Chains A and B, each alone.
Chain A
Amino acid sequence: MAFWARQISIWCSSVKTSNVANSIQRLRKTHRTWMQLDELSVLSLLCTDNRFLQRGLKTYRPVSLGSRLQSTNSSNGQIVSSESNLLSPVNHYQQQAEVIPSSDTKTLYEVWEDTPPSSALEEISEEEAVQIVAEPPLPLGSFTLRDYVDRSETLSKLVLLGVDLSKVEKRPNAGQLLLRLDFEKDIRKRLLFLKDVGVEDNQLGPLLTQNPYILAVDMEALETRVAYLKSKKFGKEAVARMVSRAPFLLSFSVERLDNRLGFFQKELGLSVQKTRDLVVRLPRLLTGSLEPIKENWQVCQVELGFRRNEIQHIVSQIPKILTANKRKLTETFDYLHNVMGIPHHILTKFPQVFNSKLLRVKERHMFLTFLGRAQYDPAQPSYISLDKLVSMPDEVFCTEVAKASVKDFEKFLKTL
């Protein structure tokens, strides 16, 4: 249709390929993720209604990438490819465009003679007038998804679902991926699958924010992995919990998951049920690297001097110890054991002290020493248990444990 040709010609003349190439080179240095529109997503973004496409592209050759471009006429395929040549520094998906046979060249010249460039004063019907889309052209490349979100159905639906696009666009190639996907075809299936697994509606948004790449994983792969987890006797709620708390879980292959579960069983020496509980409690263990966990295990055994069964008990209560910072762990233990004088068996009973900040423990301990109430031996009177020392908020700690006012605590803090 005439108006369509006008649209594309205006748009293409505004594209300066040299500018695009230069800006790409300059922007590569700035370490931000660059998203580019390919031919198909441009067309799909511009036309949100099938009807337009069918009308407008009646004279154009089908380009087989898409869902919506259903037109039949083959003679103007050349025009499409010439436009795509203009966009070539920008276009990555050329390999899917169809090869145009040389016999069409003649028809091409005929077509070009038949449709001279249309003038703006040409009369068009009411329906065509209504269909003119007078919005500014989309930028061919951009740093942010803000430029595309209003015109893209996929992106709008994702925003309404709760996906934080400002975080997603910072991940490498995630923005490009989302631009390429189509909601009806790709995303809907996976969202329904996740819902079947048991992920809540309000958790779908955060999950996709953290791991947008899950939308590019094959459906069969996802199903096999969930089936594998179920075969290892993880219950439905457990699997749902694991998937929502470790968004990258289903991006891992079955071999990797198997490897990880095997590691936890052998190295840590835990029973099958305990491994399951551990993994359900902190599913991040399955998605992270195993090296820090091995190191922390060695630290606990060799440097801190805990026995094997003690470490197993601590780990089942506070799995975070396995992923904690080695240096901070040793510093906290050093203060607890050497300065506060707490023996190993009491530390095993209250492993949550390893989870808290060292500064907090130090301040509270010094306050109690100042008041003369620092008694951590259960056999002695006025004994203060470590969980009361660490887990309570300041007001409760001051009034109940230290039996002093919060103001005194603050004054004491200023004397440290």
Chain B
Amino acid sequence: MAAGRAARTRLNGLFAVYKPPGVASIRVRDTLETLLLKELNSLEQPTVPQQVRFLPTTVEGNAGKELTLTVTQLPVLAAHPLVKGPEFTHLKIGAGHRLDTKSSGVFVLGVGHGNKLLTDMYNAHLTRVCSGTEPVWGLLCVTPILTRNQGQAYTVRGLFGKATDDFSDTGRLIEKTTFDHITGDKLERILAVIQGTNHKALLMYSNIDLKTQEAYELAVEGLIRPMEKTPPLITAIRCLQFAPPEFQLEIQCVHETQQYLRKIVHEIGLELKSTAVCTQVRRIRDGFFTLDNALPRTHWNLQNIRNSIKDSKIKVKVGLQRSLSHQARSGKRHTDMDQVAESELHSTEGTSASDLTQNEITTC
């Protein structure tokens, strides 16, 4: 009886699953909840508590038949599982950044207390970026845009030559064009333009003055990003494959939706004086969770989810601490510039020292 309850109380944290295409993310969340509830209920052993009762019976006494009370132990049927129902009927599972029905990829979910971490992750404004190594101290040549462990990253497949009303290949066809004139370097040029404009917007929304020491520190750490709600911003975009009419892009972005990415593909087609539709949008990373951490559908059970939560616990904690310390710093930034500058120096020294030790550990 205790096994199920113990498992339930220990089931807290964040984990990632791989959402298959064609399924709504709410369905995925509900399926996981049902699976976990079924397993938790099966762990419980049905034991019915006994109750001591005094029942009147006839007993052959001194003067013929007598009424006495006999002691018996009877099960309390009100606590029988067939009367009570299953022990667990509800689990608090929250979904992180959602994916729409047609797209697939890493989908972060929180269980129990992990839901609080979900809100923290959202507030930390992590972007969804490709899997990468931890930032190496002193690597100044790395541009501030490639913010590691931040944001979301997608691989987007597109097809030249068609235009549809919802920018994907299952929509109603509007236009067909030729695409023979498109070459790889033309595509690269367009992507560079997109990246440049988005970079400018990113700096504008981040509200930092590039000429300050603080901005330099942030850039080195890779933490330049907008801390409030903004329109979708692409922090990096590059072409992985180009085989006309098909092409594949990798996009790292902040605050986006999958439909926005499809629109980007459509606009790339327009810029190249042709048309394009998006055939696949697949998220390969969401914050700290990458494809390796995501559980495929065959692995959706209690044991695997528990292991996944355990593995990601440390990463999530450290990452959130770093991001939220940056947020605290940026909060101070808006109060008084002079006071802020001094305190910034102290705080950055403190954090940079801790970062140094951390990175030393990772590199060693």
Contact = CB atoms under 8 A, between A and B. Distances in A.
A162 to B, nearest CB: 7
B174 interface: no
Interface in B1-43: 18, 20-23
A166 interface: yes
Contacts of A409: 298
A81 B77 CA distance: 33
Contact of B68 (A130, A145, A359, A406): A130
Interface stretch (A146-154, A253-261, A301-309): A146-154
B54 to A, nearest CB: 9
A122 interface: no
B67 interface: yes
B76 A413 contact: no
A165 interface: yes
A413 B67 contact: no
Contact of A130 (B67, B291, B297): B67
Given A416-B20, A416-B104, A150 B76 contact: yes
Contacts of A145: 83
Contacts of A131: 56, 67
Nearest to A170: B85
Q: At the interface, is chain B mostly helix, strand, loop or mixed? A: mixed
A267 interface: no
A358 B22 CA distance: 10
Interface in A314-364: 358-359, 362-363
Interface in B74-101: 76-78, 80, 82-86
B232 interface: no
A61 to B, nearest CB: 26
Contacts of B85: 166-167
A410 B298 contact: yes
Given A147-B78, A163-B82, A416 B21 contact: yes
Contact of B83 (A49, A146, A413, A416): A146
Contacts of B77: 149-150, 155-156, 159
Contacts of B196: none
Q: Which of A156, A162, A410, A414 has the most CB of B within 10 A?
A: A414
B281 to A, nearest CB: 12
B294 interface: yes
Nearest to B51: A150
Interface in A357-416: 358-359, 362-363, 394, 406, 409-410, 413-416
Contacts of A126: 67
Given A394-B298, A414-B18, A166 B82 contact: yes
B161 interface: no
Q: Which of A155, A159, A164 has the most CB of B within 10 A?
A: A159
Nearest to B78: A146
A416 B76 CA distance: 53
A406 B298 CA distance: 10
Question: What is the size category of the interface that chain A forms with chain B?
Answer: 20 to 34
B80 to A, nearest CB: 6
A335 to B, nearest CB: 10
B135 interface: no
A159 B83 contact: yes
B319 interface: no
A127 interface: yes
A399 B80 CA distance: 45
Contact of B291 (A146, A162, A165, A414): A414
Contacts of A416: 20-21, 104, 282
A164 B298 contact: no
B22 A359 contact: yes
Interface string B276-310: 00000010000000010010111100000000000
B83 A414 contact: no
B59 to A, nearest CB: 11
A414 B299 CA distance: 12
A146 B67 contact: no
B56 A149 contact: no
B108 to A, nearest CB: 15
A306 B21 CA distance: 29
Interface string B59-77: 0000000111100000011
Contacts of B282: 415-416
A49 B66 CA distance: 16
Contacts of B83: 144-146, 149, 159, 165-166
Nearest to A130: B67
A414 B78 contact: no
A406 B23 CA distance: 23
A414 B294 contact: yes
Given A159-B77, A413-B297, A416-B104, A146 B20 contact: no
Interface in B250-280: none
B78 A410 contact: no
Contacts of B84: 146, 166
A150 B50 CA distance: 12
A410 B292 CA distance: 11
Contact of B20 (A127, A155, A159, A413): A413
A362 B104 CA distance: 14
A159 B296 contact: no
Q: Which of B69, B78, B84 has the most CB of A within 10 A?
A: B78
Given A146-B83, A413-B297, A414-B294, A362 B56 contact: no
B22 A413 contact: no
B82 A362 contact: no
Nearest to A128: B67
A49 B298 CA distance: 57
Contacts of B68: 130
Contacts of A147: 78
Interface string A182-222: 00000000000000000000000000000000000000000
A163 B67 CA distance: 34
Contacts of B80: 149, 159
B56 A49 contact: yes
A165 B81 CA distance: 9
Given A49-B56, A359-B22, A409-B298, 10 more contacts: A130-B56, A130-B68, A150-B76, A150-B77, A159-B83, A166-B83, A413-B20, A413-B297, A414-B294, A415-B282
6 smallest A-B Cβ distances: which pairs? A166-B85, A146-B78, A149-B77, A165-B83, A413-B296, A130-B67
30 contacts: A49-B56, A127-B66, A127-B67, A130-B56, A131-B56, A131-B67, A145-B83, A146-B83, A147-B78, A150-B76, A150-B77, A159-B77, A162-B82, A165-B83, A166-B83, A166-B84, A166-B85, A166-B86, A167-B85, A358-B22, A394-B298, A409-B298, A410-B298, A410-B299, A413-B296, A413-B297, A414-B294, A415-B282, A416-B20, A416-B104
